[in-house]
Amino acid sequence: MKPPRFEYFDPTTVEAALDLLGEHGENAKVLAGGQSLMPLLNFRLIRPQVLVDLNGIGALAYVRPCDGGLALGALTRQRALERSAVVRERCPLVAQAVPFIGHAAIRNRGTIGGTLAHADPAAELPAVVTALGGTLVLRSIRGERVLPADRFFVSYLTTAAAPDEILVEVRLPGAGSRTGSAFQEVSRRHGDFALVGVAAIVSLGADDVCTAASVAVAGVGPVPLRVDDATRLLLGEKPDERTLAEVGRRVSEQLTPDADLHASSEYRKQVAGVLARRALGEALGKARGGGA
Amino acid sequence: MTERTIRLSVNGREYERRVAVRWTLADFLRDELGLTGTHLGCEHGVCGACTVVMNGAAVRSCLLLAVQAQGAEIRTVEGLADGDTLHPLQEAFWEHHGLQCGFCTPGILMSFACFLEEHPAPSDAEIREALAGNLCRCTGYVNIERAVRAAVTKLAGGRAGAGPTGA
Amino acid sequence: MAGRWVGARLRRKEDQRLLTGSGRFLADLRLPGMLSAVIVRSPHAHARIVAINAARARAERGVAAVFIGPDLGAVGRIPMRMSPRAEVVECLQRPLALGRVRYVGDPVAVVVAEDRYRAEDAAELVEMDLEPLPVVTEARQALEPGAPVVHESLGRNLAERLVMGCGEPERALREAPVRVRDRFKVHRHTGVPLETRGLLAQFEPGTSALTVWGPTKVPHFNRGVLSDLLGWPEHLVRFVETDVGGGFGIRGEFYPEDFLVPWAAMRLRRPVQWVEDRREHLLAANHSREQLHEIEIGADRDGRIVALVDRIYADMGAYIRTHGFVVPDRTAAMLPGPYRIPNYGAEVLCAFTNKTPCGTYRSPGRYEGTVVRERIVDRLAGELGLDPAEVRRRNFVSPADMPYDVGATADYDPVVYDSGDFRGAFDAALEAADYESLRNRQAEARREGRSVGIGIGCFVEKSGTGPWEHARVEIDGSGRVVVFTGLASLGQGLETTLAQICADELGVHPDDITVVHGDTARIPYGVGTFGSRGAVVGGNAVAQAASALRERIKSFAALRLELSPEDLVLDAGRVHPRGVPDRGLTLRELARAAAPGQPLPPGLEPGLSASAIFKAPMRVYPYGTHVATVEVDPETGRVTVMRYVIAYDIGRAINPMIVEGQLAGGLAQGLGGALLEELVYDEGGQLLTTTFMDYLLPTAMEMPEATVIHVLEKSPSPLNPLGIKGAGEGGCTGSGAALANAVADALAPLGVAVTGLPLTPATIVASIRAAASRREARR
């Protein structure tokens, strides 16, 4: 289990990285935190001719307030997100979800850009960005484009990024007042990828009436799935246990997850509904308390 | 560019070596520098036996290329003791039977060397969660948790005695 | 014996090197000119080998050689270590496959190159032309007519049929007023030590000496096997143990690589190292545990068991490896467990399948049998409307029955329990668990709608397998005590425990004793370490040798001091007249006084050394009880183990700290087996769990929230002077049973049937749904 041969470049600017990708295109692979790519290399499941390591590009690691929300540089480590006060304040859902990712040593290296670009549908952050309706900034020597999360994730381990594009920034809307969020998941062990994970956000207006609700589910399809048809039920309502149970039921109903060796399709279907109900309940509780 | 010269510091000592770019940091430490205390248990980042501290953060050395450690400061289990004086974690692991075969031990020690610097007074739950990042097949973890708690006490005692600010 | 050190919670002698990164594991060894080997393995579960083309691989830069099956010449197959059977000799594994491959992972070629990276590059260039054959992956199916046959020469997949028992089980069952049947599946999982396997072999053409580092467990036996297979004199083959990252049954058996690496080193005349990677470990090292039981129990109306009948299907995988049929044999041998069962019958059908061959894993056969028996005892309790604890109380073999003949056999030897108070260990566990109030709290939790369950697992273990072990103790020229043992160290603290035993005999501190193990050049005889035998057989051998040495030391001292040996004592590294500590001799002075050329006591040869062979014709039987408390989330199937109690009677603990560590570690493995770990195959015989992301070892977070371990020393074995019973396995043996019973108990109000392991979130939710639809259908 040793990596195959490749050429290695470690540019120190985004431009230099883009030039390398422009030159090598599909033969190149971008290395960010390496917590998914390096295992694939060690197993020789991928064999890029060229590895473009972004870790030398300090300018890609940042957490910046932006339009009431956040702009996160793609090379921002998960550990930095976990510790950031501004992340907790503006996008608490991110801070709630990050502790579910692997373990401390993984989060010390793993980056937000890397986990999104890897696009494992059972991963936590793709579901979080999908639930939040975040946008992703892609750059290449051809220019820059901004994609909403639901257009970025295309399929299992597949994104809309072209071979010469780098995901450089993630933009997340901030949580308004009286907005609560929660992340819940079931995994085989602590730190494993989710069998099912749910990211939920709820906003309340005056009189505790729900003004916005969003749920994205990880581990139940080729991409993290928004279940707007189900959460719509909450809008204009003062959700109680029965409403939440109904939302959960609808979430279950509308999913057709794939089975793998850790869980059947039926299991994932059922548990997605259970966790949606529970996560929404938790988020609602926080929203009623003023938000977080 | 399939080979490179890298310079780095390991356990306070400077090294300059020519290395194939595909070599992992773990293999570099073990084969090139002869620091075989860093073990390889899975080579895909799950078991944690290869955990070392790089620039102050615990990392899996099987998931890093050696060339990525250019300019880095690395600490491995060989650098944990101060000469013949064991680190309080090492002492506590010995005292509380926190190891059996000892294969996972270097990774666990380095994970906690880093963890305790960030969390000088962790709760039992925090210790357990931090420990979950390393697999041990022998101990059932019970005595490792005990040892870490004992090390916390030792370290706190050391700090309390060290100066007027105390712990 | 004084017992100052035996019984002490002494910190381990091994630890300093292991804590500082100074241990020497196999992969840490380097020799000048050393090459790195990679094994090329079959990607097919069953195929005819049409051709293997290694030309491109051989041409790769840095490649020293590539060997395929025909290159090995007329090499034999790897023999069975335990109870060889002539009938299956054609079903033993060759070092490299010839003609056919029979499981994914079957070795096909060996690539040897300058370093591991290049060896892997070249391994990818070995071209295998394989013609796929029909595959069979399940033991019961393998025994059906028309199933693909794994070994054509045998002509069927039934590798062995074992039958044992006592009384008239069928009749007693027929006449029993209460009967319960069950079908229970124990899944395939295995030891998975954190250090993978590995070997380093060096051949010195000048002296014809071959040295092999790495294989640790039964080095003397393996040396004999290698010598036979190579046709090389045994005295020119030396096996040397390194530090080892866990054994658990799988490490140190003679595997194909144990031939291939030394053979390649001899052929190439350069040192060759092979370090297994994790993926191939999961494919290539022994699997274990996979059994299907069809069991029935009969009892009278008071809940006294009158009969137990079991048919066991054991999946052996594609070849018979060194352990032979020991795992299914021990399942049947130990199935009656701690209960008096007058009529017992077991039939074991061992079947070949196109999967990785199997061997032992901690508590081999007993983990499986214990979960099956304890499940059906719980179901019997349910049938009778009795508390599970009460049914057990009514059936334990009592201390007055000892020695107790179970009525079963292990390797054709009767299973006779040597001593024990099964009820006593059971009471100790229930008391530690606070069983009565636990039941009350459970009732309370149920009223709150929580699914809390309590599970009991009672068991008897076996240990102390003979036939013998060797030890030699000497005082070297510097006065230091050196113990040579035929045992092997697998990480369990062997150096410390043997030093403690020796220290008491010789009146020295354990720190002043060096324990030498696992080097066939320095130790003439040895059986090795397995089945919790080390302390029992090897420990008593050390005690005997040290005791003989003590008398010898006294004789030499008596000569010097002009006293009678009976008037002398050994203490603190000195020999002195009783009560006169300053008039004595140090061991160093005595070692020199005993050298050749010095005056000798009458009838003695020179030298301060004594050896012993301790013979253990009968096994000894430790026993215990586990109590698990779990909470299940019925909506997600998650199991939280809240509290866990183990009471285990091992007769006598040499180092209670080490024993407790063994029990906690065994529990983690048993819990992993019950809840997490599984080697999953698809229908085509592909192993799907070849990474640590899929084969799930428990982390600290999956362990019980609280664990209580009681080491009991109530029933020392009458069969050895130290009274020891083995301590290595009891933490594991009862855990599958206690956890399965606890989960079943938690879900009992939902009508759920627990009929197999592992208990994963998905299987639990599926069984809850199945129970719900059964209820629905009944309505």
Here the CATH number for the domain that contains residue C550 is 3.30.365.10
Is some CB atom of chain B closer than 8 A to the CB atom of C492? yes
Residue C90 belongs to domain with CATH number: 3.90.1170.50
Is some CB atom of chain B closer than 8 A to the CB atom of C89? no
CB contact under 8 A, A2 and C120: yes
Is some CB atom of chain C closer than 8 A to the CB atom of A1? yes
For position B1, what pLDDT does the model report? 65
For position A291, what pLDDT does the model report? 80
Asked which of C615, C634, C653 is the last residue of a domain, the reply is C615
CB contact under 8 A, A262 and C760: yes
What secondary structure, in 3-state letters, does C697-745 show? CCCHHHCCCEEEEEEECCCCCCCCCCCCCCCCCHHHHCHHHHHHHHHHH
d(CA C273, CA C38): 9
CB contact under 8 A, B140 and C192: no
Is some CB atom of chain C closer than 8 A to the CB atom of A191? yes
> At B166, is the pLDDT very low, low, confident or very high (cuts 50, 70, 90)?
very low
Look at strands A50-53 and A28-31 and give their pairing.
Answer: parallel
Say if residue C156 is in the same domain as residue C216: no
CATH class of B88-161: mainly alpha
Whether residue C421 is contained in a domain is answered as no
> What architecture does CATH give domain B3-76?
Roll (3.10)
Say if residue C341 is in the same domain as residue C366: yes
Say if residue C129 is in the same domain as residue C210: yes
Which domains are assigned to chain A? 7-56 (3.30.43.10), 58-172 (3.30.465.10), 180-288 (3.30.390.50)
d(CA C494, CA C724): 15
Is some CB atom of chain C closer than 8 A to the CB atom of A242? no
Backbone angles phi, psi at C536, to 5 degrees: -65, -55
In chain B, what residues touch A38 (CB-CB under 8 Å)? Answer: 24, 44-45, 62-65
- Which residues neighbour C760 within 8 Å (Cβ) at sequence distance 6 or greater? A188, A262, A263, C637, C675, C676, C678
Q: Which is nearest to C126 in space by CA: C60, C53, C43, C37? A: C53
Summarize the confidence of residues C288-307 as an average pLDDT. Answer: 98
Look at strands C513-517 and C568-571 and give their pairing.
Answer: unpaired
Cα–Cα distance list, C592 to B3, C95, C438, C477, C547 (Å): 59, 50, 64, 6, 20
Q: Inform me whether the pLDDT recorded for C303 exceeds 50.
A: yes
Q: Inform me whether the pLDDT recorded for B165 exceeds 60.
A: no
Asked which of C261, C284, C307 is the last residue of a domain, the reply is C284
Cα–Cα distance list, A92 to A88, A114, A183, A228, C567 (Å): 4, 20, 10, 21, 80
d(CA C333, CA C329): 6
Whether residue C3 is contained in a domain is answered as no
CB contact under 8 A, A5 and C121: yes
Is some CB atom of chain B closer than 8 A to the CB atom of C564? no
Say if residue C82 is in the same domain as residue C179: no
Say if residue C294 is in the same domain as residue C436: no
Q: What is the pLDDT of residues C754-774, one digit of tens each?
A: 999 999 999 999 999 999 999
Q: Which domain holds residue C496?
A: 15-21+465-615
Cα–Cα distance list, C318 to B13, C92, C132, C353, C679 (Å): 51, 9, 15, 5, 15
Domain ranges of chain B: 3-76, 88-161
Domain count, chain C: 4
Cis peptide preceding C467, ω within 30 of 0: yes
d(CA C30, CA C273): 9
CB contact under 8 A, B137 and C192: yes
CB contact under 8 A, B106 and C699: no
For position C511, what pLDDT does the model report? 95
For position B8, what pLDDT does the model report? 98
Which helix (H) or strand (E) is A175 found in, with range? none
Say if residue C497 is in the same domain as residue C389: no
For C656, the closest chain B residue by CA position comes to B97
For the beta carbon of residue B158, count every other beta carbon within 10 angstroms. Answer: 11
d(CA B132, CA B48): 9
Q: Which is nearest to C242 in space by CA: C517, C493, C486? A: C517
Which helix (H) or strand (E) is C52 found in, with range? strand C47-53
- Which residue of B44, B76, B133 is in closest CB contact with C692? B44
Longest dimension (CA), chain A: 63
Q: Inform me whether the pLDDT recorded for B163 exceeds 80.
A: no
> At B110, is the pLDDT very low, low, confident or very high (cuts 50, 70, 90)?
very high
Residues of chain B with a CB closer than 8 angstroms to some CB in chain A = 1-2, 4, 21-22, 24, 27, 43-45, 48, 51, 57-60, 62-65, 67-68, 70, 111, 114-115, 129-130, 132-134
> At B159, is the pLDDT very low, low, confident or very high (cuts 50, 70, 90)?
low
CB-count exposure of residue C50 (10 Å: 0-12, 13-18, 19+): exposed
Which amino acid does the sequence have at C447?
R
Q: What is the pLDDT of residues C161-189, one digit of tens each?
A: 999 999 999 999 999 999 999 999 999 99
CB contact under 8 A, C761 and A4: no
C274-C278-C281 Cα angle (round to 5):
70
Say if residue C515 is in the same domain as residue C562: yes
Summarize the confidence of residues C291-311 as an average pLDDT. Answer: 98
For position C460, what pLDDT does the model report? 98
Whether residue C409 is contained in a domain is answered as no
Q: What percent of chain C has pLDDT over 70?
A: 100
Q: What is the pLDDT of residues A12-24, one digit of tens each?
A: 999 999 999 999 9
Nearest chain C Cα distance for residue A271, angstroms: 6
Say if residue C202 is in the same domain as residue C169: no
Say if residue C81 is in the same domain as residue C214: yes
CB contact under 8 A, B59 and A105: yes
CB contact under 8 A, A274 and C761: no
Quick one: DSSP state of residue C270? S
For position B167, what pLDDT does the model report? 33
For position C215, what pLDDT does the model report? 82
- Which residues neighbour C532 within 8 Å (Cβ) at sequence distance 6 or greater? C461, C462, C463, C464, C622, C725, C726, C727, C728, C729
Say if residue C160 is in the same domain as residue C184: yes
Whether residue C647 is contained in a domain is answered as yes
Q: Inform me whether the pLDDT recorded for C1 exceeds 90.
A: no
